[in-house]
Amino acid sequence: MASVTITLSALCMPFASSAAEADDWEWMVEPYIWAASIGTDMRTFTPPTDAESDSSFSDIIDKLDGVFMGRVEGRNERFGVFADFIYLGLADDSQRRFLDTSSDLDTRLLDVAFSMRFGGQRDSGLDLYGGARYIDVDLTTGFVPHNPAFAPRTLDVGSSYLDFLFGARYAWPLSERWNLTLRADGSVGESDGTWGASAMAGYRTGNGAWLVGYRHMQADLGNRNGDISLSLTGPVFGYGFRF
């Protein structure tokens, strides 16, 4: 009986080890820089305004009032979770023919989602994910007329939006160290809709991976006093620390 027990234990050990490895979670913390150009299209009802602007990243550098971008992701062989947070603060003063303007834009974007892999391995194949996207936008613009007969005015357009997030991601291993990941997602809910897409290449190192690629995002936002369309487009650079 003892020999049978020892034999069964020996046979079960590889399967138990494989199951434990399949359930092992790998985590990555990724600070990154999204060198995006920003486009805004704002329409308000009171007072009635219609304004558009496009700023390249080189122009934005001089207007940055604060920035933070980071991503945390954990995954095993089949399931994963991630959170992606962006804070971008911009401030700008300009002098025009009849008035001076000062604007302050604060944007916060948080994605939290659960993913499931359909085929492939831990770093390859198709992932589908769903979760929540939270967007908070606060745009304040001050108008100071040169003519003292006209009083200064301040326009404040800002709201928060909570959407259902859904998307897909596909990863290809190009070599032992290189891989390519394509991602597309969208959200619906309190906003008028958002969508985004990215292509990222990764180079794996001993402790993590260098990441470089290109990303675009479009958000259509509205409140009782108007609508704001916000777009961000540009290259992404980062490093993911694995543990």
pLDDT single digits (tens) 162-174: 999 999 999 999 9
pLDDT at 6: 36
Average pLDDT over residues 228-237: 89
pLDDT at 167: 98
How wide is the angle at C-alpha 140 spanned by C-alphas 138 and 142, nearest 5°? 180
Residue 18 placed within a domain: no
Residue 2 placed within a domain: no
DSSP bridge partners of 175: none
pLDDT digits (tens, 9 = 90+) for 96-141: 677 777 777 788 999 999 999 987 677 789 999 999 999 998 877 7
Residue 183 placed within a domain: yes
Residue 14 placed within a domain: no
**Cβ(239)–Cβ(31) below 8 Å:** yes
Give me the number of domains the chain comprises: 1
Q: Which domain holds residue 223?
A: 27-242
**Cβ(31)–Cβ(221) below 8 Å:** no
Contacts of 155 (CB under 8 A, 6+ apart): 44, 47, 49, 140, 141, 142, 143
Residue 175 placed within a domain: yes
